[in-house]
Amino acid sequence: MKFFIDTANLADIAEANSLGVLDGVTTNPSLMAKEGISGNENILNHYKAICEIVDGPISAEVIATDFENMIREGEILADLHPNIVVKVPMIEEGIKAIRYFSDKGIKTNCTLIFSAGQALLAAKAGATYVSPFIGRLDDVSVDGTDLIQQIRTIFDNYGFETQILAASVRHSIHIIKCAEIGADVMTGPLSAIKALLKHPLTDIGLEKFLADYKKVNG
């Protein structure tokens, strides 16, 4: 399973990248706003800065909701760097835009997926990735990982090449469940990735190893 980090924070991106397990980055307008990035030029420069840190797919989202402007924005984003993936919302105009980008060889990430039908439609339009938001489904008392399983079954039934990018991951259990199901990618915050490191028995075991070494070696 590929690991993407879901943030626009350059320090977090660099820290995750330094672990040697990072495959890519996803951003969205809320994450960019959280970092105080505003204005077209600053936004584009920020994407370029992310591309300089991580050598892998970097999702950059369009703001427009009509076909013509999605195309215009997406082409500007795609021209920034070969690793840019144009993130398009799951709406009717978005599906048309995904088909357009796909025909042009521009990679896409269809975002805000909350049902298997939406994922199927995006895959048929040629999306490179679909992003089911599992944490936000959990927030409304629906098990988001059930959706990942449903999409996995459908994509496998028909051999779709569209990758399942489990998004809105909140904690390490989400990551493990998605890995068990066979999601192609997960995107989550640095905290969820680093939580995978932790087990109290590891800490206790290491403490004992070091203490025993010290006993005989001073």
* Residue number with CB closer to ligand E4P (126 or 188): 188
Judged by CB under 6 A, the number of residues near ligand E4P is: 11
As a whole number of Å, the end-to-end CA separation of the chain is 43
Spell out the residues 6+ positions from residue 58 whose beta carbon is closer than 8 angstroms to its own.
Answer: 24, 25, 26, 27, 47, 50, 51, 81, 83, 84, 85
Name the token pair of 188.
């989550």
Min CB(130)–ligand E4P separation in Å: 11
Helix (H) or strand (E) holding 97: helix 92-104
> 2, 34, 48, 87: which is the annotated catalytic residue?
87
Entry field: residues in the chain: 218
Distance between CA atoms of 99 and 44, rounded to whole angstroms? 24
Span near ligand E4P by CB under 6 A; candidates 11-19, 39-47, 129-137, 198-206: 129-137
Note whether 6 binds ligand E4P by CB under 6 A: yes
Binding string, 11-50, against ligand E4P, x = CB under 6 A?
Answer: ---------------x-x----------------------
Helix, strand, coil in percent for the chain, rounding step 5: 55, 15, 30
34 in active site: no
Min CB(157)–ligand E4P separation in Å: 25
Distance between CA atoms of 17 and 1, rounded to whole angstroms? 16
The residues in 149-208 that bind ligand E4P, with binding defined as CB under 6 A, are: 167-168, 187
Binding site for ligand E4P (CB under 6 A): 6, 26, 28, 111, 131, 133, 135-136, 167-168, 187
Residues marked active site are found at: 87
